[in-house]
Chain A
């Protein structure tokens, strides 16, 4: 434990503990507007959408299968 304490002391010298007490501004407006922010597409989403389009162009009959699952 003493050894842990020594390492912890060194760590605290190198990476000091946080000191800020409160946010620098009122964040409530940001929380409420967060709900109205547009949905952002990730590369994964775009890839999935592209894959669905490609598969459906090759196999149009699968549209019914997709519709069933949706």
Chain B
């Protein structure tokens, strides 16, 4: 995320200046949106979560230290908001993507893809989010750790556990990746 920000802009944001907040929003919205979309995997939901995340940031502005990276702070807030969304929609049938641009394969591989998708979506949220970012979105573990405010060892361990569960469940269905 770009973070060569004017210190005065950040100070004004902390003091509640709405123009400064809009300036930060305009500068970071696309990056934050992409990050959220990687987690919630639904364009419309990602837009709602983006609004919620920036609103949380504005509400919690007094806790922001202007000498630190706004981008990293914003990404942590966005990650929490996205995880809250995934948890809230967990019981609903479709955590699957509603994004028309993301299509599962057709043909004989479709059944395997469906099975993998179902097993993947049955992972516990904290494992699934890490696995989504690491295995599907190919994000560096260090970035995931920073965004989730976790030690990198915990992120590695969650990826490992997610992979182990996936292998076990897929093997039960006769799929051996």
Contact = CB atoms under 8 A, between A and B. Distances in A.
A34 B138 contact: no
B106 to A, nearest CB: 11
B58 A17 contact: no
Given A22-B30, A22-B33, A23-B33, A11 B137 contact: no
Interface string A22-55: 1111011011101100000000000000000000
B102 A7 contact: no
B136 A11 contact: yes
Interface residues of B, number: 45
B55 A11 contact: no
Contacts of A22: 29-30, 33-34
Chain A residues touching B, range: 20 to 34
B76 interface: no
Contacts of A70: none
Contacts of A34: 51-52, 55
A14 interface: yes
Interface string B30-45: 1001100110010100
A12 B136 contact: yes
A67 interface: no
Given A18-B37, A20-B99, A8 B54 contact: no
Contacts of B101: 19-20
B47 interface: yes
Contacts of B55: 31, 34-35
Given A10-B177, A20-B37, A23-B50, A15 B97 contact: yes
Nearest to A26: B29
Contacts of B58: 31, 35
Contacts of A31: 25, 51, 54-55, 58
Given A20-B101, A28-B22, A14 B177 contact: no
Interface of A: 3-4, 6-8, 10-25, 27-28, 30-32, 34-35
Interface of B: 18, 22, 25-26, 29-30, 33-34, 37-38, 41, 43, 46-47, 50-52, 54-55, 58, 96-97, 99, 101-105, 109, 112-114, 116-117, 120, 131-132, 135-138, 163, 166-167, 177
